[in-house]
Amino acid sequence: MKRILIGIFLISCFKLSFSQKANKITVLNFSGVIANYPVEMRLEFSERNDSIQGAYYYKRSGFDKKIYLQGTIVNGYVTLTENAYNQNKKKFEDTGYFNLSYQNGSLSGSWQKTPDATKEKILFTILVRREDLSALNLSEYQFIFTRKPYNYKYTEDYTKTYHQLLSLDIKKNNVTKWLLKGFNEESLMTDNDIILEDINFDGLVDIKIPINFPGRTKSDFGFLYFIYNRSSNNFIQNQQLNDLEFVESNTAKKEILKYDADGNGNEGTKFYKWQNRKLYLVREERVYENDVYTHYTEYGFLNGKNVVTKTYKKK
């Protein structure tokens, strides 16, 4: 009788589940120059259409001074428009234009401040991709989600349906290369995007799966992270990153950044680096409500653990 009940349960789960092709969003990082000015650029390419979005910054200005980009790629030709906030006018406005050719891992072409810029004001631009797509190019693979409906009851009168992730099948030429399973009931999704991005800065693209955390009043969105292991030729779920939920990557400095804020002026950033396939906290910057100082904490490693090495504050 027990076996029959289990069989009925498995059949019912199978009937509820469905498979769907994922929309791949590939994140690529480029390093180079505009004229003689060193820059770092991050671009997101969507499989769904020819649109691109991203940002870049001048190294002399720093990672926090990003200039945002939107554009398209058609037949290897990239056009980008940059957009920045004008403090005086209190609005966003277009501040520059890229016209680039994307070949052999490089973006080459020009930047100009206005569409009708004269020849002498057009600046030569060359950017080289950091990722090694010749070693592993996941854009050549199909990603198939298997999911089932999951109803989350917010109130007596409002229930929202999410998709509980059951498995991820990664195929090439209709042959399964990797099958990721073992997702828990909290692996809930609302769309079918998948992010391909180098998270551990080894030049090989990893996998990020967007998930939702229903019921939270803030920070209700994050990712499940799968890091590609070259030696085992497998994708391994990284629990450290899963616990951080949503992070930003500074590829130039090979740092993982985790932001937090309580909405009252108390904010902080934690900076992590990889060592022996683990993330270690290297420093922390915090500001507090009614405090003119920025507080800094620096960390070192001792017996595989983080230890505080220095604390200080600056105005």
Please give the single-letter amino acid code of residue 95: T
Report yes or no on 3 lying in a domain. Answer: no
**What is the extent of the structural domain holding 184?**
132-241
Task: Give the residue carrying structure tokens 């799966």.
Answer: 209
Judge whether 64 and 40 are in contact, CB under 8 Å.
no
pLDDT interval class at 14 (50, 70, 90)? very low
Neighbours of 92 (CB within 10 A): 11
* Rounded distance between C-alpha atoms, residue 112 and residue 121, angstroms: 7
CA atoms within 13 A on the CB side of 304: 3
Count of domains observed in the chain: 3
pTM (2 decimals)? 0.90
The percentage of the chain sitting over the pLDDT mark of 70, rounded to a whole number, equals 95
Report yes or no on 56 lying in a domain. Answer: yes
Neighbours of 314 (CB within 10 A): 9
Report yes or no on 14 lying in a domain. Answer: no
* Rounded distance between C-alpha atoms, residue 190 and residue 205, angstroms: 24
CATH number of the domain that 114 lies in? Answer: 2.40.128.120
pLDDT of residue 84: 86
* Whether pLDDT at 7 is above 60: no
172 and 115 in a common domain:
no
pLDDT interval class at 215 (50, 70, 90)? confident
Domain end: 89, 105, 129, which one?
Answer: 129
145 and 111 in a common domain:
no
pLDDT of residue 3: 54
287 and 233 in a common domain:
no
For 274-287, write each residue's pLDDT tens digit.
999 999 999 999 99
147 and 229 in a common domain:
yes
Report yes or no on 205 lying in a domain. Answer: yes
Average pLDDT of span 6-29: 75
Report yes or no on 248 lying in a domain. Answer: no
pLDDT interval class at 31 (50, 70, 90)? very high
pLDDT of residue 312: 96
Q: Name the average pLDDT for the chain.
A: 93
